[in-house]
Chain A
Amino acid sequence: MLAKRIIPCLDVKDGRTVKGVNFVDLRDAGDPVELAYEYSQQGADELVFLDITATHEERKTTIDLVKAVARQVNIPFTIGGGINEIKDADILLNAGADKISINSAAVRNPDLINQMAAAFGAQFVVVAVDTRSIDGQHFVHLSGGRIRTELNTADWILEAQERGAGEILLTSMDHDGTKNGFDNGFLKTINDRIHIPLIASGGAGNQQHFVDVFQQANVDAALAASVFHYGEILIPDLKATLRQNGIVVR
């Protein structure tokens, strides 16, 4: 059976993790490589690094980070942030990234999805979508949910799939940070309409939320950051809970 995936997400800036981490005795809690290794040992199925490094010059730090993670961590990982053209993705691929995630760049230039899928294969291309509901309608948002676009979220996801995305990472900005659970209703609506894997993001606060998103929306993977980083949910415990609820996990 194909297992449902649990994915911790690490925000990285200039090669360092941004949000605090206090769940284990790490020598250096700001070191994303050490943190990634710890998660892999705990049973995380995959990792996502979101690079929020501001300037182009500092991107070299990110490349070094990707290489260090690929050397030391034996599970797949995705890197997102700052990828605007084929060249950016090519460098990350050769540094050992398994997938890249594109968000605003794909909205601004949808053909980028086609180009990336053609160059590297669909399996390499994750399209990340931030959505917010306005008067009952979901619209794609950019810049961490601050900028609204006129794109209908479901339409955009279907277009991304059509253009060659291998996976969708859908973050509900309405749920993100609330710890009130994933947006299971909307996730299910999207999941029922696409034929590529869907990663749910935004709203995880406790273990039951993961049970709910897998049972109600049947998504392929669930992503979270702070509940893992602050040790509120330990991955082995979460997997035990999921198993008890009949959800297939590794």
Chain B
Amino acid sequence: MPTICNCQVQKEYCKMIGIINYGAGNIFSLTAALDRVGLTYGMVNTADEIDQYDRIIIPGVGHAGAAMDKLQESGLVPYIKKLKKPVLGICVGMQLLTAFSEEGNAEMLKLFPLKTLHFDAEKSGKVPHMGWNSVSVPANSPLFAHIEDQTYFYFVHSYFIEFDATYTAAKCVYGHPFSAAISKDNFFGVQFHPEKSGKAGEQLLLNFSTIQID
């Protein structure tokens, strides 16, 4: 795989994607996937470090309320909220972008006027929603470029972001529609795990690495 890099600096110092390192879960799988597709990255621990990167990924597994607490403790929240560069939240990292999560009844970053809700097994199916589910891929979405409609991605979550006509960028159905992906300006989120979703997931990470915000 070729290394794709827009940086003007010397390649060995080039770190294109900054990963918010706030202690919510393991990021080994994410960095491994970035390595596989040849994307460079580094860790963001402080506000200064955000500026060093072209774009930002917010990872996250586990409990959304607890993850939000950790993000608050990191001191990075005000800086993340005013970012103009591309930002991708993954799984709980995506849920952090919403206004509120039922998991811990916690307020989130409020970058999207959406709620993160718990799956009701009566209406959806077994919880957690675990495994490969097909996703309705939008046409002309840079994040889903070169990815076919109804491609399967790997999900594992008990909470979901409600479907919204404005902000849902890709839809998944588990008993009812929910947001497989959301987008608003420079902020993107995916509920599935691109780092575990085979070739399609790797393509999505590559796509994110080339997204330009007008």
Contact = CB atoms under 8 A, between A and B. Distances in A.
Contact of B28 (A1, A96, A166): A96
Interface string B11-32: 0000000000000011011001
Given A2-B133, A93-B26, A74 B61 contact: no
A121 B67 CA distance: 12
Consensus secondary structure, chain B interface:
mixed
Given A2-B133, A250-B152, A70 B125 contact: no
A82 B152 CA distance: 33
Contact of A196 (B36, B128, B132): B128
Contacts of B126: 194-197, 220
A96 B29 contact: yes
A121 B61 contact: yes
A74 B157 contact: no
Nearest to A195: B121
Given A96-B32, A98-B29, A250-B132, A1 B158 contact: no
Given A1-B134, A220-B126, A74 B33 contact: yes
For A3, A45, A166, A250, the residue with the greatest tally of chain B CB atoms inside 10 Å of its CB is A250
A71 interface: yes
Interface centre among A96, A194, A221, by most chain B C-beta atoms within 10 angstroms, is: A96
6 contacts: A67-B28, A76-B156, A96-B26, A166-B128, A197-B131, A220-B126
B33 A197 contact: no
B198 A40 contact: yes
A225 interface: no
A167 B28 contact: no
A197 B201 CA distance: 23
B131 A2 contact: yes
B114 to A, nearest CB: 22
A18 interface: no
Interface string B86-116: 0000000000000000000000000000000
A216 interface: no
**Main secondary structure on A side of the interface with B:** loop
- The 7 tightest CB contacts between A and B, nearest first, are A96-B28, A250-B152, A3-B132, A250-B132, A71-B32, A121-B62, A123-B156
A5 B121 CA distance: 20
A75 B154 contact: yes
Contacts of A45: 131-132
B198 A75 contact: yes
A195 B127 contact: yes
Interface in B169-214: 173-174, 193, 195-199, 201-202
Contacts of B158: 122-123
Contact of B199 (A74, A124, A166, A197): A74
B118 to A, nearest CB: 12
Contacts of B29: 70, 96, 98
Given A2-B131, A5-B132, 5 more contacts: A3-B132, A3-B134, A71-B35, A75-B154, A96-B26
A167 B199 CA distance: 25
Contact of A2 (B63, B129, B193): B129
B47 interface: no
Given A74-B36, A96-B28, A120-B62, A221 B131 contact: yes
Given A71-B36, A121-B63, A250-B132, A2 B125 contact: yes
A72 interface: yes
A95 interface: yes
B103 to A, nearest CB: 10
Nearest to B62: A121
A195 to B, nearest CB: 5
A220 B35 contact: no
Contacts of A194: 126
Nearest to A3: B132
